[in-house]
Structure 1
């Protein structure tokens, strides 16, 4: 393990022209990064900030990984719907790719991910078609949400669609299990068995669907852990999450 290096804040431009924060954490000077990852915070698309992932990024940078944490427009604060949030995630990844390239990393050495709603956005952007290629080779999801929205009762689907600013009949457009295809990026999921937001059963169904399609999808289950278990001081799982994420990234995306 190396010590962490330079940390700084920059920005990228959202579709509405506003500037959104992008925190950058680099390995120590003289240590070229072997892989890179961009993370998106949770908060039900209405709360949270990139600062929430600063401890994760700092720890990953000490392990020769270029790590970034990005903001995106939130509902009620610049975003009219989840569509705006998703557009921002794609734009953030484009900026991440440019910064990573200047440090010798191209798309096969990059990953995206996040926590809860942020994990959902990163996975959705990687697994759904767009006008531009989503330039990452792997995904890391910490207690992701939205894996199987079609399993919700109709009333719950209508409420959730309204909450994220879309028509009720569009909700399955955001259900990740609907987009599982052969060739989906290798994915590592960290999830607590007592998660109260996304039941572990839904996560297992998604994992199984990915494997049936011929994709690599590893689910790391944390016994008795609830939503948000991966933060420092919350259940004592932080180091295990960082260690497993590091191994996954260096095994699948690292430069030689």
Structure 2
């Protein structure tokens, strides 16, 4: 997959201002990569820090649930921080492909993708639990991401129930976002979408398309018409379902965009930043 030199350069040269642990699980510490707006030159139209704390964004990397890390979303985190948002990149447990022996026994990746979902929801609760010390407004948190990361962002808000939360973890704080920003998301995990072969017969439980209901937060959705990885049909159906349920969904299809297209071209990247800025401004987040 082609990613232009500008985006790659930013991934390699940008650095978080802090790496903050948010969860200990199975002997491993998981962290948030924090881009502090107070330490970055503001972009045009950036908001000053409000008395109630800054808005925040949790932005989640893609990679089919099995690879990559927070570094691949550093360019997005930087743009959010320059707008005045406290921006956090999520480190989560990566799902692993099943072995041939496990596949022969009919096992699938549902359990380990569920771990990814639980990590995203844990992180949202961590931000709310520590909002005062982080200087953020717990009522203005955006969840976003690309591809499988956009799926995890959506699951913080569209899924509900004990299955999706870490066993034994406090759920006194909500995991739901006040807004969603989704880049070419894994939005439909049915056989017509992406991930069904990995998730098996329980795919519907983790499918944002199949969990749309009234009362969901405003959503900004980017998807390419030429995406052969996560089919655009699912994004169109999601946008229609959101509208039918009375929810705001700003859908921006790109006529020639392939999977990951927002990273492929500097002009398209900058246009996406402008659209995201306008969306956040419409919600009084900036």
Give me the TM-score of the superposition, normalised by structure 2. 0.76
Question: Matches of 2:283 and 2:27 in 1, distance apart?
Answer: 35
2:220 to 183, 188, 205: 188
Q: How many angstroms does 1:111 deviate by?
A: 0.7
- Whether 2:80 is the aligned partner of 1:60: answer yes
Q: How many angstroms does 1:148 deviate by?
A: 2.7
Question: Matches of 1:40 and 1:21 in 2, distance apart?
Answer: 12
2:147 to 116, 121, 134: 116
Secondary structure in 1 aligned to 2:261? coil
Secondary structure in 1 aligned to 2:262? coil
Question: Matches of 1:187 and 1:107 in 2, distance apart?
Answer: 18
Task: Structure 2 unaligned segments of length 5 or more: list them.
Answer: 1-13, 41-47, 98-108, 163-170
Alignment correspondent of 2:198: 163
Alignment correspondent of 2:65: 45
Q: 1:17 to 1:183 in 2, by over 3 A?
A: farther
Q: How many angstroms does 1:53 deviate by?
A: 0.7
Question: Matches of 1:52 and 1:29 in 2, distance apart?
Answer: 20
Question: Matches of 2:16 and 2:61 in 1, distance apart?
Answer: 21
Alignment correspondent of 1:139: 180
Alignment correspondent of 1:228: 260
Question: Matches of 1:150 and 1:188 in 2, distance apart?
Answer: 22
Greater shift, 126-135 or 217-226, is seen at 126-135
Secondary structure in 1 aligned to 2:57? strand
1:54-113 CA-partner distances (Å, limit 9, x unpaired): 111112111111111111101239x95211111111111122334544344333211101
Q: 1:86 to 1:252 in 2, by over 3 A?
A: same
- Whether 2:135 is the aligned partner of 1:125: answer no
Task: Structure 1 unaligned segments of length 5 or more: list them.
Answer: none
Aligned length: 241
Question: Matches of 1:50 and 1:64 in 2, distance apart?
Answer: 20
Greater shift, 131-140 or 96-105, is seen at 96-105
- Whether 2:190 is the aligned partner of 1:150: answer yes
Q: How many angstroms does 1:36 deviate by?
A: 1.3
1:92 to 105, 112, 123: 123
1:239 to 244, 249, 270: 270
